Amino acid sequence: MTPVPRVLLIEDDDSVRSGLELALRRQGHDVVTASTGEQGLQRLDDHVEIIVLDLMLPGIDGFEVCRRVRARGSVPIIMLTARNDDIDVVSGLEAGADDYVVKPVLPRVLDARIGAVLRRGERRAGTVDSFGDLVIDRSALSVTKGGSQLGLTPTELRLVLELSGSPSQVFSREQLLRAVWGHDYLGDSRIVDACVQRLRAKVEDTPSEPVYIQTVRGFGYRFGPV
């Protein structure tokens, strides 16, 4: 039997939390819930594989929860935001979220986003590519730098795999959004840009002067050195 991924749902609104928990269970997910950020952080040790996180929480808010989760590991995070607010979305992405869904949440949309994030960590046939001291093992789904394993989230890993698969090729943000996030709408470049910044902080010697994840102004990104 295929193991069921465990979802940690952190949401303070009782009705929203109960409704999403029921909907996710009907979709076949194993769900644990928390009503506060503090409680959610305590339940991280329950073999959680993905977090669905409301941003507006009492006490420790979702932004701080996101930062603390990222300091502890690479569990993927989908944030829930009450409105499509640029400041909230960008702040959440910069704090370490992998994706977001705007409330009111459609369960089928959330289920699709969860599936897309989890698929980014699936193993597949591949090769081992070396770029200086950066080594990308596509079969083992690992990236090392100077012999040390980099703790990448599934989204960061999928992004570096996508870019490094065609060195020197320029990818538009829309291309990366479709290939990495699986979204069927365009224009949400904030997700791509935030993930690039987090990835640079891990793979570059000097993130402000990137060698591997290069910006091509007016177009998008490419993998170097070229």
Q: What is the pLDDT of residues 150-205, one digit of tens each?
A: 989 889 999 999 999 889 899 999 999 888 888 755 557 888 999 999 999 999 99
E strands in 38-180: 50-54, 77-81, 99-102, 128-131, 134-137, 142-145, 148-149, 171-172
Per-residue pLDDT at 84: 63
* pLDDT band with cut points at 50, 70 and 90 for residue 22: very high
Nearest-angstrom CA–CA distance, 170 and 185: 20
pLDDT value at 102 more than 90: no
Under 8 Å between Cβ of 8 and 50 = yes
* pLDDT band with cut points at 50, 70 and 90 for residue 5: confident
Under 8 Å between Cβ of 136 and 145 = no
Give me the mean pLDDT over the 9-37 stretch.
95
How large a percentage of the chain has pLDDT more than 90? 57
Residue 186 token pair: 């365009």
Nearest-angstrom CA–CA distance, 65 and 223: 31
pLDDT, tens digit, 9 for 90 and up, residues 33-61: 999 999 999 998 768 999 999 998 999 99
pLDDT, tens digit, 9 for 90 and up, residues 67-91: 999 988 889 999 998 766 677 888 8
Amino acid letter, 110: L
Per-residue pLDDT at 226: 53
